[in-house]
């Protein structure tokens, strides 16, 4: 089937033409993968998101919602899915951090551990900096593993560590 333009593709999709769907997939798959990767920063996650979108596009007949540009509809849909995924992962990570620190507080109450850093100095750290510092320096995790657990890049982890150590050094100087 030769498809001339996006308006014709949309028209054929609304008629349930599988060849039109295949044409959309072939024409936009790579572009949508790149768009998803730009937001998610994970190649496999980007591919899964795009493939899941195409499955939904066909099975749930989402193409019936297209009233303007096909390209604009597809890229917006992928962007929204990726942003929802990032938001969900961020919420999950925050819950995990909160849960982990709650467990840590309970364990500390049961078995007192000598403090290396005064509580006030540690309280000055943001949650992510505290988590990065804890994973690398207390739990002795490699940067790659710590970054994966936190859901951030290795460079972001390094930045959090650098800033955490800077804050701790400044706090210790003023505590003396």
**Residues 15, 89: one domain?**
yes
Q: Are residues 74 and 121 in the same domain?
A: no
pLDDT at residue number 74: 94
Last residue of a domain, one of 93, 127, 154: 93
Nearest-angstrom CA–CA distance, 153 and 55: 29
CA distance 51 to 29: 8
Residue 135 lies in a domain: yes
| pLDDT at site 102 | 67
The residue segments making up the domain with residue 18 are 4-93
In the prediction, which pLDDT does 104 show? 60
Structural domain contains residue 76: yes
Number of domains the chain contains:
2
Helix/strand number for the chain, H first, E second? 8, 0
pLDDT at residue 106 in the model: 56
The per-residue pLDDT for range 36-52, each reduced to its tens digit, is: 999 888 899 999 999 99
Which residues 6+ apart lie within 8 Å of 66 measured at CB?
A: 10, 13, 73
Asked if 74 and 124 sit in the same domain, the reply is: no
User: Which pLDDT does position 29 carry in this prediction?
Assistant: 96
Q: What percent of the chain has pLDDT over 70?
A: 81
The residue with tokens 């620190």 is: 101
CA distance 42 to 57: 22
d(CA 136, CA 57): 43
pLDDT of 112 > 50? The answer is no
Dump pLDDT digits (tens) for 115-158: 455 556 666 777 888 888 888 887 888 888 888 888 888 888 88
pLDDT of residue 26: 94
Q: Is the pLDDT of residue 33 over 80?
A: yes
Question: What does the pLDDT read at residue 55?
Answer: 93
Residue-averaged pLDDT of the chain? 82
d(CA 94, CA 127): 9
Flag whether 154 is in a domain: yes
* Residue 58 and residue 44 in contact, taking contact as beta carbons nearer than 8 Å: no
Q: Which residue has better confidence, 174 or 166?
A: 166
Tokens read off for 171: 């706090």
- Contact 43/57 with Cβ under 8 angstroms? no
8 and 85 part of one domain: yes
């Amino acid at each position: 089937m030769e498809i001339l333009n996006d308006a014709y593709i949309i028209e054929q999709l609304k008629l349930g033409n599988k060849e039109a769907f295949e044409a959309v997939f072939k024409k936009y798959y790579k572009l949508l993968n790149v768009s998803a990767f730009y937001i998610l920063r994970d190649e496999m996650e980007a591919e899964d998101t795009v493939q899941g979108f195409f499955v939904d596009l066909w099975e749930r007949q989402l193409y019936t919602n297209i009233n303007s540009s096909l390209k604009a509809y597809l890229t917006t849909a992928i962007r929204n899915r990726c942003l929802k995924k990032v938001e969900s992962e961020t919420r999950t990570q925050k819950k995990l951090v909160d849960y982990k620190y709650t467990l840590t507080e309970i364990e500390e109450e049961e078995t007192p551990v000598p403090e290396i850093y005064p509580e006030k100095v540690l309280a000055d750290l943001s949650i992510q900096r505290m988590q990065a510092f804890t994973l690398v320096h207390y739990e002795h995790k490699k940067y790659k593993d710590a970054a994966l657990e936190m859901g951030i890049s290795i460079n972001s982890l390094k930045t959090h560590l650098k800033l955490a150590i800077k804050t701790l050094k400044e706090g210790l100087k003023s505590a003396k």
